Amino acid sequence: MPNLKEVKSRIKSVKSTQQITKAMKMVAASKLRKAQDSILQMRPYAKKLHGILTNVTHSSDEAVSSVYSEKRTPNKILLVAITSDKGLCGAFNTNIFKSTINLINESYQDQYQSGNLWILPIGKKSYEYFKKRKYQLIDDYWNILHELSFNKVKEAAEYVMNGFLSIEFDKVQIIYNEFKNVATQVQRVEAFLPIERNEDSHHDEMNHVDYIIEPSIEYIIEELIPQTLRIQFYKAILESNASEHGARMTAMDKATENAGELLKDLTLMYNRTRQAAITKEILEIVGGAEALASS
């Protein structure tokens, strides 16, 4: 059985840790509210923009093609892996690593072996993980989460778009955590380029709008598609940002609960150890008194 000093030291250490996890939970909750507001405001805009683009492309009798929808043999692959800058958020980052590795193993093993697969990490954890494992990285944009803004994300999105146009990449996919609620994040592997045309006829039938287009449908498409892609890229990062704070809040809440349970066990152990020490001292005193009386 441990001595009283050891148990008391452990109780003090656990209480200190519990205070830290409580504070981190409160900070995560504060950041989550802001991040949640951002993504909830972005979703309708992104959805409407995509809907307009779909309706415009379907409003012409002739198929409207775009350089961004050009399908090629996927010889050169770019994967955008979005994580956080910091840890202590449960399996948030680990899930992205697993999804990315699984995607490579299942779909792009040939491209990886031939050196035609690149990873664009977003977030410090993503950068460190893939760099340590010697993947080919595009490491110019991993730190954009430090002061997250549309202008910073736009630079990364345009780099990816220009890379597709210049045939540096034949296919681009984004791996990120989609925010559902505080306790739930869903891993998404989303096609970014080339653009996949929506073939859902029922959706088209229900949402078709007959637009009057000026100056021309080609011009509108040329302007809409790059803007839609930038918004799609930004939305994925906002989803991941909100998911990160939700995951950290949940992890810190669970850590605080676990610390409370551990404190109960340690307090019980302390009381038992103390009681055993007192009983031992009493027995020694009684034994000594009896020895003096018998002498």
Q: 114 in the Ramachandran plot: left (φ > 0), alpha (ψ -120 to 50) or beta?
A: alpha
CA distance 121 to 141: 7
Q: Is 89 a catalytic residue?
A: yes
Task: Tell me if 190 sits within 8 A of 236, measured CB to CB.
Answer: yes
CA distance 138 to 67: 23
Q: Mark out the alpha helices in the chain (DSSP H runs).
A: 4-58, 92-107, 109-113, 124-132, 150-165, 201-207, 217-294
| Catalytic member of 28, 89, 144, 266 | 89
Measured N-to-C along each axis, helices 4-58 and 217-294 cross at an angle, to the nearest 10 degrees, of 170
Residue with tokens 């780099």: 159
Rounded (5°) CA angle 93-98-104 = 130
Sheet holding 117-122, edge to edge: 117-122, 77-82, 171-181, 184-193
Phi, psi of 120 (to 5 degrees): -105, 100
Closest CA to 126 of 88, 96, 168: 96
Closest CA to 79 of 120, 51, 44, 113: 120
Task: Tell me if 82 sits within 8 A of 100, measured CB to CB.
Answer: no
By annotation, the residues acting in catalysis are 89
